[in-house]
Structure 1
Amino acid sequence: MTSTTPQIEEIKDLPEVISLLPLRNSVLFPGSIIPIDVGRPKSVKLIEEAIAAERPIIGIVTQKDARTEDPSAKDLHEVGCAVRILKVIKLARDNYSVILQGVVRIKIEELVSDEPFLQARVSELAEIHPVKLEAEALVANIKETARKLISLVPELPREAAALLDSVNEPGQVADLVASNLDIEPAEKQEVLEAFDVSERLRKVLTLLTRQLEILEIRERINTQVQEEMGHSQREYVLRQQLKAIKGELGEIDDENAEADEFEQKIAEAKMSEEAEKVAFKQLNRLKQMQPSSAEYTVTRTYLEWLVDLPWSVSTEDQLEIGTVRDVLNEDHYDLEKVKKRILEYMAVLKLNASKKGPILCLVGPPGVGKTSLGKSVARAIGRSFVRISLGGVRDEAEIRGHRRTYVGSLPGRLIQALKRAGTNNPVIVLDEIDKLGHDFRGDPASALLEVLDPEQNHTFSDHYLEVAFDLSRVMFIATANTIDPIPPALKDRLEILELPGYTRQEKLAIARRFLIPKQIGDHGLDREDLALTFSDDAIMEVIDSYTREAGVRNLQREISSVIRGVAVKFVEDELSGEVEIAAKDIPDYLGPQKFMPEMADRTASPGVATGLAWTPTGGEIMFIEATAMPGKGGLMLTGQLGDVMKESAQAAMSYLKSHFDQFGIAAEALESRDIHIHVPAGAIPKDGPSAGVAIFSALVSLLTGRCIRADVAMTGEITLRGLVLPVGGIKEKLLAAHRAGIRRIFLPERNEKDVVDVPEEIRSEMEIIYAKVVDDVLAGALEDAKAD
């Protein structure tokens, strides 16, 4: 800080003409004492001449452009400072060090001479003093701000604050602070030229505040940098110490051991040429990074994924068709279509080893063994098995992965599954593919298009890996309960295999061969002192009276409940030796029957017909009820029916009204009464055209007073001409009818081809009648009219 004497010795008589010494990059204020070096020829001559004078007075003015070597009057500011030369030290020839003290502001009125140095006629500038209170407030603000600034600059001497406190005259305070501020010479010149002390104080306060803000920001930045540097240095020191300790213990051989290990793994992985190029590029980057940096961890994780993937690791397929067939039959009963397709693929693979894997989609109700079949296929052909659950997946990144720019990014589920499998030709089950969602994060079903296309998946690119991986050798098996929610583009890439529900005899066989032995083993009852068996009647009792399903999941639960009850009795020493569960014992373990045969009761009155419906969980029987009441021939529909089903009811009613005399119905019966059609289970939505024939039959039964046979069910769409059109889900509907004890079925004539898929044992126990028009249905469904 430039020293300043609080009391400035005034110049009694300022000479009219004084010598001028130009300064390049500094401004001298009254009261300031500064040393300067003099070396320019004119300036040296000025100093030498002034030494001889007693207490010489010269003028100090600042150049407008510091680069001007020999300034003239136009190159100098008009306002400068008259100074007294306190001391002159000769440093060398034509080079002096001069200590100057500023005394008073001066203004150059006229240049008198420029040889041998500049001389000018000057005048002293008088100050305009401010209002006392305003001056005191400004001085107080300047001093407070200056103290804060001094605290942020440790280079300043401790005397700086004391020196500031010793000056009280407003103009001197402004000059003292301005002379010591680290600002541009032009800004200091503006302060020097401010004759109004109040204006000068404001200028200085503005400059001082700006300088304080700069220093505070710089201090904040320095603190942050020092903290970061301190953390990094501390981590570096600790790592070096850890390295030294490991070296002493003999646990480390080479500082590049990890990089060498990666290099070896890359060579052993036998990646594709593209992947290997990327891996070595990332490895070279890793070698140049500090282990403490965040980027090091990201790159290291990426390399770990690359080297851990099974680029060239594959399992050898079991190509003996007989062995594959035996394993499939050992794990699953029936499901002949799927087993046939797997055997076909293995036969082709045996003939052509480069054959790409099939992309199957098993569609069927819950509990028929879709997911477990995938595991069985993998075991049969000797491949690794991985299951990916897609239910509720809504983000495309779940399939294709996240880009490495995101924190915590990972590859998609497919790449993760391949890493878990450890081979490049596993069986991957895409479970619940019909339950994929989509939102603003993307459509995972669209991301699967590339995965499930044999023409594209040999170059599948995950967003995280950003290199192609060959999925063509993977055997994909998707599962779904219904095919409708799957987008058409994705459905087109799938080979659909439908798995209908099981018959009673098939459930009996599954329970005997799989469910009961498994549950006995799971509950610890496969013991030498206990031989637990179930009679066929007992199993049938559970199937008929305690379950209503297309699969066997609930059957397994009920059998498990029975075995748990046996376990309790065995532990309490109530049972031992050979124990057979009979049909009469089932209620003791499972309670009263959950499902009762109600066909005869439900159809014992006119106006009730039994229809057949298809649901995602299999087939179901559906009762159609109709009743009449006084009215004007209106039609009321209830039971939460969809638009298509309502239209079927309207079509049936229109055909009946246009042919009432054909069925022996009086016109007054239709005109004077309203008809109400209701489909029970009103909380469940129902839709579709297949109930048209059943609705028509219920209406005719109601209006003729003839009941529909209790063992009859029907399905088919009706037209306004009375034709019976084909419908879908025939196998599921026939299985549902068989479970309900129905023995006579009316089907559309054009559905005869679909009955081939129904097991022979079901067809042999049921009478299937094919109808072309509704009259064919009425002839075999209505009972004979009862005599009054």
Structure 2
Amino acid sequence: MELTTWNIPVLALRGLTVFPHMDLTFDVERPISIAALSRAMETDQEIFLVTQKEMGTAVPEEKDLYRVGTVSHITQVLRVSEGSVRVMVEGGRRARMKRLWQSEPFLQANVEALPEQKESEAFLRSARTEALLRQTAVLFDEYAGRVSGLPDEVKTQVEECRDPGYLADFLAQNIRLRTEERQSILEEPSAYIRLRKLNEFLARENDVLAFEGEMEDKVRSQLARSQREQILRTQIRVMQGELGETDDGDEELDDYRARILRLGLPEETESHLLKEVDKLSKQPYTSAESAVIRGYLDVCLEMPWNTQTRERLNVEAARKILDKDHFGLEKVKRRILETIAVRQMNPEGRGQILCLVGPPGVGKTSIAISVAKALNRKLARLSLGGVRDEADIRGHRKTYIGSMPGRIIEAISRSKSMNPLLLLDEIDKLGSDYRGDPAAALLEVLDSEQNCAFRDHFMEIPVDLSHVMFITTANTTETIPRPLLDRMEVIELGSYTDEEKLQIVKNHLLPKQLKEHGLKKTQLRVDDGALRALIRDYTRESGVRVLERRVAALCRKADMQILTGGVKRLTVEEKDLPELLDMSPYPPALHAEREETGVVNGLAWTEVGGEILEVEVNVMPGTGKLELTGNLGDVMKESAQAALSCLRSRTDRYEIDPEFYKNTDIHIHFPEGAVPKDGPSAGIAIATALCSALTGRKVRAGLAMTGEITLRGRVLAIGGLKEKTMAALRNGIGTVLIPQDNVRDLEQIDQTVRAALEFVPVTNVDEVLSRALCPAEKKKKKAAAEPAKPETAEPLAAFAPARSEGGQDALRQ
């Protein structure tokens, strides 16, 4: 080793560092490492051992290796197995890698020796060096006392060594250090600094070991205390058993047993709970298992097993309560009273699960509250909106940390009755994810054939839900899974008419808001004209929530004027509304005043009620391109294509250019593009707007339509007619075109709406266009000389009943 530079094979070490003059044995498995050993054995058995920075690097490159390593001599190579060898090396001298010039089939590099810094004899004998050596011996003794399994040879070598450099290398090789710390000692040329660094690392390691020992002692002490307590408790029980005495500490267990036996539960349930008490008696009081069992028993015993409220089954009393709390909704009230009548005739019968479906604000939840009041049942309300975890319905297994019963069991426990009315709000907004499907868990709960033995995952004992009355609410049935919907009887709540809203605000909303705002009836008076304007011009909704907010705003204005304006009472008339509530956000007759070309009023159903859906069509010279905008779904896009094809087959009849699909670009737009739109009911509106734009004929004012169209021009039936006609009335529409197949649905529409609107049934697109389009401009002069031809479609007169109860025609002639 007289040379100071070598061209030598390189062996990359993972988690190991070899120091000069140290012997080390380790296993080698990587092919490039075995190849490097083979190459070294073929030459002078010298190899450069260097530590790699990351242990996970399988094929290291130059950037993955530290620069400083040790040129070592291979003393022995032993094959352990196929693909693995054990090698014994003797560290030579420190060296620095200049360049790793080969990586296949083994690593080879140019390395240069690092000069050894020779310490003088005087320095080695100095007091400073002696103090450092003594400090090292003290720190190592402390380390050896905390670490087990340290060889005696290591302790002897430390006591006898007087060379600071060798002692630093020796200890760094034999004590527990991080790879970066060992490498920093290897790279330090000064023997004194190496040993000083080692002392710092050794002192830190002693502190870490001291903390580890302290924590281990605490854990051992706690376990010993727990075992000692358990042994003592067992001994006490044995001695008391021998003396025939009872344990005062078992009063809790006796109390549990007495409460269980006092309930008179079914044999299976009673046996299960008593087994839990026996299991609790065998657990140490402070153990985690005993806390779980206590929580379980407390939940089970808090259930109102034998408690039921006395149900008041009287149809007439229930009718008075429902009429007092709600105006209108006659069909809904009648169906609920029928349910009460059935229970009055057969109190032991299993009740049906009712599902109240309707737009927001129409009174679904308040009806359920009134039913609970009428039946004298306790009410427990559960909001299911956004619930995604099946455990929310069925509960968690009690073995889990933080487990609890499901919402059904919790609601029954909260109601303190086994026959409450459970109101499941927003059942259409249940979700599902990797934690399960809560809608599937509700299948058992809402099935009167199965819920007599409902098992919650937490309780693990059957609970009879057959006496519970379930009422669910939803805005739509579209998002309720079919099997779940099949278990419920749907009762639909439609939109309120303006007259119904007037009575609701006078009899319910205004008195409620006066009370909440601290006003007496004489301090605020709102006349009927102002209330009608409030309903007509300041709200566009199916229910009455926004209307209630408007009434609350008037009450706030009254509070301010009474307190600061020096007035004693406030009377609100229609002319005062713009000053009190700002300008109306909904201009009157927005969709009914003008006759326009290419603009048609469609009718749409939404979860919050009916809406006017305008269709606009514009035609321009072009190449026959059709463009659809307005955030449309696939169904409405297909309706537009069908309407266009239908008109192409009727170009002669309506004097449309037969080549329009080649030389005209058509743009169909549904305003309010931010709102998604889809559904099979806009076909005739699109066809009418297309025909109007292509022929230049205007669309009659005050007219709206709904219906789907086929390629042959047939008009198909639609759904949601009640909400759509309500929207037409709110927006000042006078005439509504409906499919012939929907005439039977007119019986479900409120008499006020039927009297205010003119319904025209249509069977094909020709009847629609004949009724909706104004005559062409060029035919106006001829109309004076020739008698007008009767229109194909006539107003719906033959389908109208003779008279309504109010003396008006049910359908306007």
Output the TM-score relative to the length of structure 1. 0.69
Do structure 1's residue 550 and structure 2's residue 542 form an aligned pair? yes
User: Paired residue for 2:382?
Assistant: 388
Matches within 5 A, 1:126-145: none
**Of 557, 577, 592, which aligns to 1:565?**
557
- The AA in structure 1 aligned to 2:384 is L
C-alpha deviation, 1:572, in angstroms: 1.8
User: Paired residue for 1:66?
Assistant: none
C-alpha deviation, 1:531, in angstroms: 3.7
Take 1:362 and 1:619, find their aligned partners in 2: how far apart are those partners? 18
User: Paired residue for 1:614?
Assistant: 605
Do structure 1's residue 650 and structure 2's residue 641 form an aligned pair? yes
Do structure 1's residue 582 and structure 2's residue 576 form an aligned pair? no
C-alpha deviation, 1:622, in angstroms: 0.8
Do structure 1's residue 226 and structure 2's residue 217 form an aligned pair? no
Deviation digits for residues 308-329 of structure 1 (CA, Å, limit 9, x no counterpart): 1122211111111000111111
Take 1:415 and 1:719, find their aligned partners in 2: how far apart are those partners? 52
Deviation digits for residues 635-689 of structure 1 (CA, Å, limit 9, x no counterpart): 2211111111111111111111111111233435555322221111111111122
The alignment partner of 2:604 has SS state of strand
**Of 258, 263, 276, which aligns to 2:257?**
263
Which moved further from structure 2: 673-682 or 412-421? 673-682
Deviation digits for residues 189-221 of structure 1 (CA, Å, limit 9, x no counterpart): xxxxxxxxxxxxxxxxxxxxxxxxxx9999986
**Of 396, 410, 415, which aligns to 2:409?**
415
The alignment partner of 1:514 has SS state of helix
**Of 387, 407, 432, which aligns to 1:438?**
432
Do structure 1's residue 715 and structure 2's residue 706 form an aligned pair? yes
User: Paired residue for 2:6?
Assistant: none
The alignment partner of 2:341 has SS state of helix
The alignment partner of 1:667 has SS state of coil
Matches within 5 A, 1:229-248: 229-230=224-225
Deviation digits for residues 444-463 of structure 1 (CA, Å, limit 9, x no counterpart): 11111111111111111000
User: Paired residue for 1:331?
Assistant: 325
Which moved further from structure 2: 632-641 or 621-630? 632-641
- The AA in structure 1 aligned to 2:599 is V
**Of 277, 287, 290, which aligns to 1:293?**
287
Matches within 5 A, 1:421-500: 421-500=415-494
Take 2:726 and 2:369, find their aligned partners in 1: how far apart are those partners? 27
Matches within 5 A, 1:61-210: none
**Of 318, 321, 329, which aligns to 2:315?**
321
Alignment CA distance shift 1:664-1:273 (3 Å): same
- The AA in structure 2 aligned to 1:556 is E
The alignment partner of 2:275 has SS state of helix
Aligned length: 582
- The AA in structure 2 aligned to 1:632 is T
The answer to whether the 8 Å contact 1:692/1:717 transfers is yes
Take 2:138 and 2:660, find their aligned partners in 1: how far apart are those partners? 110
Output the TM-score relative to the length of structure 2. 0.67
**Of 524, 528, 532, which aligns to 2:524?**
532
Take 1:345 and 1:445, find their aligned partners in 2: how far apart are those partners? 25
User: Paired residue for 2:345?
Assistant: 351
The alignment partner of 2:337 has SS state of helix
Alignment CA distance shift 1:757-1:221 (3 Å): same
Deviation digits for residues 326-365 of structure 1 (CA, Å, limit 9, x no counterpart): 1111112222233222212211112212211221111111
The alignment partner of 2:335 has SS state of helix
User: Paired residue for 1:705?
Assistant: 696
- The AA in structure 2 aligned to 1:306 is C
Take 2:394 and 2:369, find their aligned partners in 1: how far apart are those partners? 24
- The AA in structure 2 aligned to 1:774 is V
Take 2:671 and 2:211, find their aligned partners in 1: how far apart are those partners? 80
Take 1:621 and 1:526, find their aligned partners in 2: how far apart are those partners? 39
- The AA in structure 1 aligned to 2:564 is E
Take 1:754 and 1:232, find their aligned partners in 2: how far apart are those partners? 78
Matches within 5 A, 1:495-514: 495-514=489-508
Do structure 1's residue 727 and structure 2's residue 718 form an aligned pair? yes
Gaps of 5+ in 2: 1-134, 162-209, 233-246, 782-813
User: Paired residue for 1:592?
Assistant: 583
Do structure 1's residue 695 and structure 2's residue 686 form an aligned pair? yes
Alignment CA distance shift 1:150-1:773 (3 Å): closer
The answer to whether the 8 Å contact 2:708/2:717 transfers is yes
The answer to whether the 8 Å contact 2:592/2:703 transfers is no
Q: What's the % identity of the aligned pairs? A: 46
C-alpha deviation, 1:222, in angstroms: 5.6
The answer to whether the 8 Å contact 1:152/1:216 transfers is no
C-alpha deviation, 1:558, in angstroms: 0.9
C-alpha deviation, 1:296, in angstroms: 2.1
Alignment CA distance shift 1:660-1:320 (3 Å): same
Take 1:218 and 1:628, find their aligned partners in 2: how far apart are those partners? 87
Alignment CA distance shift 1:507-1:308 (3 Å): same
User: Paired residue for 2:297?
Assistant: 303
Alignment CA distance shift 1:721-1:151 (3 Å): closer
C-alpha deviation, 1:584, in angstroms: 1.0
The answer to whether the 8 Å contact 1:269/1:310 transfers is no
C-alpha deviation, 1:428, in angstroms: 0.7
Take 2:495 and 2:227, find their aligned partners in 1: how far apart are those partners? 66
- The AA in structure 1 aligned to 2:279 is R
The answer to whether the 8 Å contact 1:425/1:475 transfers is yes
The answer to whether the 8 Å contact 2:591/2:731 transfers is no
Alignment CA distance shift 1:281-1:703 (3 Å): same
Deviation digits for residues 387-441 of structure 1 (CA, Å, limit 9, x no counterpart): 1111111111111111111112110011000000111111111111111111111
Take 1:270 and 1:540, find their aligned partners in 2: how far apart are those partners? 61
**Of 748, 755, 758, which aligns to 2:749?**
758
Take 2:540 and 2:290, find their aligned partners in 1: how far apart are those partners? 59
Alignment CA distance shift 1:601-1:613 (3 Å): closer
Take 2:214 and 2:255, find their aligned partners in 1: how far apart are those partners? 45
Alignment CA distance shift 1:234-1:265 (3 Å): closer
Alignment CA distance shift 1:230-1:256 (3 Å): closer
- The AA in structure 2 aligned to 1:543 is I
Q: Which has the larger radius of gyration?
A: 1
The answer to whether the 8 Å contact 2:646/2:713 transfers is yes
User: Paired residue for 1:46?
Assistant: none
User: Paired residue for 2:758?
Assistant: 767
C-alpha deviation, 1:695, in angstroms: 0.8
- The AA in structure 1 aligned to 2:302 is D
The answer to whether the 8 Å contact 2:357/2:474 transfers is yes
Take 1:147 and 1:725, find their aligned partners in 2: how far apart are those partners? 94
Deviation digits for residues 612-647 of structure 1 (CA, Å, limit 9, x no counterpart): 001111110111111111123332211111111111
The answer to whether the 8 Å contact 1:599/1:711 transfers is no
- The AA in structure 2 aligned to 1:478 is T
The alignment partner of 1:611 has SS state of strand
**Of 643, 650, 659, which aligns to 1:659?**
650
Gaps of 5+ in 1: 1-139, 154-159, 170-214, 238-252
The alignment partner of 2:304 has SS state of coil
Deviation digits for residues 248-280 of structure 1 (CA, Å, limit 9, x no counterpart): xxxxx9544433332332233332322211112
User: Paired residue for 2:773?
Assistant: 782
Take 1:290 and 1:417, find their aligned partners in 2: how far apart are those partners? 33
C-alpha deviation, 1:285, in angstroms: 2.6
